[in-house]
Amino acid sequence: MRRSHPLITVVGGANIDIVGIPDGSFVSRDSNPGAVRTSAGGVGRNVAETLALLGAEVRFVTAFGDDEESDRLIARCEDAGMDCTYSVRAEGVPGSRYLAVMDSGGDLAAAVNDMRALSALTPDRVDAAAFKEADAVALDTNLQPSTIVRVAQLADGAPLVLDPVSTVKAAAARPVLGRLTAIKANLREAEALSGAAGAEGSALGLVEAGIPWVFVTGGHDGAWCASADGAFHVPAIPVQVRDATGAGDAFAAGVAWGVATGAPILETARRALVLSAIALESASTVSPVLTQQTVDERMEGLGL
């Protein structure tokens, strides 16, 4: 077992989330009455904050924009316990933004992301010192493909965990699939990367591609997990969904935590599902009530 409070380097996107939640059923091509909230977001940033709340020492590597909104985002990251020393600024470019509209069930109906600032995190601007003595490195595919390759190189012998973000961006992960220790992907992302159909099939296909641990998430259908020992299903935890934004990122953080602490794959999957459930129950992208204690108590209460 590795140390219980691991050092994890997270490389990926940081942005402002602007989320619209309709009062009733979402109607496309129309103005929907509802509520609009703004919060800190970004796959990498959400993973980093979740890990910090769990008690990990977190180094966060991203490219922030060059505006006052980005100044506030940096302050939010640092207040949450992330070390942003190794992040860079994108000169003359506004901070990244993610605009989403949810449906009446709390699931995503439509979204647009503006991640231009992250282009400033080129391979030559990724500092090798960010990876020194890391127990694990987590990254997302908001990064440029060349930067993803560079991160995999600089991670050296540290376990590498990847979230492919979307089916469009998943292709950027192909050059490093054989270097990964674990991947967390939804069904569409897993099928796109593996060329196989179905959650179980795509999970096994990614193991065949050289990834030791694979987690294919399916929302209320739970997750299919696979390793060289085969595949197994872990059911979802019943929750009252308030907002699905950030739930997948919480799961990815659980995978990174499990890899960094040396937990078995089943325990890692269960913890990741609990983290995802806590995120689903919160109106915030990262739940403000999240702590290692709340996760442990939830797992104990569920008999996990």
Rounded-to-integer distance, Cα 268 and Cα 184, Å = 12
Q: Which of 245, 250, 249, 267 is nearest to 258 (CA)?
A: 267
Region label for 233, one of left (φ > 0), alpha (ψ between -120 and 50) or beta (otherwise): beta
Rounded-to-integer distance, Cα 202 and Cα 116, Å = 31
Query: Residue 3: its pLDDT value, please?
Result: 61
Length of the chain: 304
Query: Residue 284: its pLDDT value, please?
Result: 84
Q: Note the pLDDT tens digit of each residue in 179-227.
A: 999 999 999 999 999 999 999 999 999 999 999 999 999 989 999 999 9
Q: Which of 152, 196, 158, 155 is nearest to 177 (CA)?
A: 152
Tell me which residue has tokens 């299919």: 224
Confidence of residue 1 (pLDDT cuts 50, 70, 90): very low
CB 185 within 8 A of CB 215: yes
Residue 69 has pLDDT above 80, yes or no: yes
Helices (H), the chain: 43-54, 68-79, 145-154, 167-170, 187-194, 199-208, 247-261, 265-280, 292-301
Of the given ranges (61-75, 232-246, 266-280), which has the lowest mean pLDDT? 232-246
Share of the chain above pLDDT 70, in %: 99
Mean pLDDT of 237-263: 93
Query: Residue 2: its pLDDT value, please?
Result: 53
Structural domains in the chain, CATH included, are: 7-301 (3.40.1190.20)
3-state secondary structure of 191: helix
pTM attached to this predicted model: 0.92
Listed in sequence order, the residues at least 6 apart from 250 whose beta carbon sits closer than 8 Å to its beta carbon are 46, 50, 272, 275, 276, 278, 279, 286, 287
Phi, psi of 267 (to 5 degrees): -60, -40
Distance in angstroms between the alpha carbons of the first and the last residue of the chain: 19
